[in-house]
Amino acid sequence: MINLDDWAKIRHLFSTGQHSKREIGRIVGISRGTVDRALVTDRVPKYLPASGASSFDAFAPRVRELLVKTPTMPAATLAERVGWSGSASLFRAKVAVIRPEYAPPDPADRLVHVPGFQIQCDLWFPHEPLPVGEGQHDTPPVLVMTSAFSGFIQARMLPSRTTPDLLGEMWALIQDARAVPAHLLWDNESGIGRRQPTEPVAAFAGSLGLEVRLLPPRDPDSKGMVERMNKFFRQRFMPGRNFASPADFNNQLDEWLPTANHRYSCSRHGRPDELIVLDRQKIRPLPPVTPGTVFANTVRLPRDYYVRVFSNDYSVDPSFTGRIVDVIADLDTVTVTHEGVVIASHARGWARHLVITDPAHAARAAVMRRDFHAQRAHRPDMVEARVVESVQVRDLGVYDEIFGVDHDQQPALAEAAS
């Protein structure tokens, strides 16, 4: 059988008209008959291995019996069941040839994305830690949202991957895009839901009139677009950059994203920042009501006048100790209110296990402690009176009544006993 290189060289030499077939055979190093056969057909020669007996043939019937019952049985398991001791690669190749007869392929439909229908969401974690405050370094999550039609990318670093932070940032990015898609696609994120959305996520979706769709396990094709963005960020955004804080990270990311969205996409035949116009024509406008996206909690302010939000403690005006307060935390601020009045406001900390104190709260607590001790030192009787008044004393006659004791009969009983 003539190889492809010799076949091409023979036809080239013959086409020049300067060499006879005998000369061509001598130049190429083949016989005159091989030159004739190479010039007879215009088809590229293909190597067809000779069919012969194989060591697999004796095991083939048993392999087929197992594939009838379990078409997806791995080749390694089949080899173990039939007692194969030869080449593992040969066995896998032979099984791959006959398996389609028993396990029909699962064809995947071609995905067609229409404008304004779907935005794919995912979390990306930078591969290098960055400063988050108080000497701590961490790799906070970055929420990435990509339009399935236009490929337009939105991204922002979050303080955590909790449900309130995810909802808050999704709402912020939807507001930046100035439109609401029909679907938000997620893949097994605990803050969003596993088999079905969590209650806050379902309420968020209902407020916006969209559907949060959760992908089943092992379905990377349906969300591969945003998955590829992770590699894109590592290769195009991260190299050569230094970040002083999460705010610095987000500022640099905001400056770079317009460049990323202006790149030409061959598969879409356009640029994301131009195709997003078609998305916005089909996507619904923003709703008049803002969905609930913040962390909210109601607690009684303890004596140490601090409230906990995630892993950090924030001070509150100690004058409200013992009262019910409402704690609200968004992506940037922690706010504490009492009956609608703001009594504390702090910038949210990105580091963990912090104690964040407003100097005014600490000064107010010091004044309250000084006044309390001074009052107790000058009027100890008032303090003791308050303690006595706070203790309830039961009438001992109640016990006499319970046990049937009559005090008028006590002297007579004593004389009889003597």
Residue-wise pLDDT tens digits, 326-350: 999 999 999 999 999 999 999 999 9
Average pLDDT estimate for 173-192: 87
Tokens at 80, concatenated: 């173990």
Range of weakest confidence among 28-32, 102-106, 353-357: 102-106
**Which are the contacts of 235, defined by CB distance < 8 A and separation ≥ 6?**
none
Range of weakest confidence among 218-227, 274-283, 323-332, 354-363: 218-227
Indicate the average pLDDT of the chain.
84
Residue closest to 111 by CA, chosen among 219, 188, 205: 219
CA angle 358, 168, 223 (to 5 degrees): 145
Strands 355-356 and 312-315: parallel
185 close to 121: Cβ distance less than 8 angstroms: yes
> CA 185, 187, 190, 195: dihedral to nearest 10 degrees?
90
Alpha carbon of residue 337 to chain centroid: 32
Could you tell me the pLDDT band of residue 389, with boundaries at 50, 70 and 90?
A: very low
Task: Say what the pLDDT of residue 111 is.
Answer: 63
**Strands, sheet with 312-315, edge to edge from the N-terminal-most edge strand:** 306-309, 312-315, 355-356
The kind and range of the H/E element at 27 are: helix 21-28
Phi/psi for 300 (5° steps) reads -90, 125
Task: Say what the pLDDT of residue 164 is.
Answer: 93
DSSP secondary structure string, 161-197? -SHHHHHHHHHHHHHHHTSB-SEEEE-SBTTTBSSSB
Range of weakest confidence among 20-34, 158-172, 248-262, 322-336: 20-34
Tokens at 237, concatenated: 């955004």
Could you tell me the pLDDT band of residue 409, with boundaries at 50, 70 and 90?
A: low
pTM for this prediction: 0.64
CATH class of the domain comprising 118-282: alpha beta
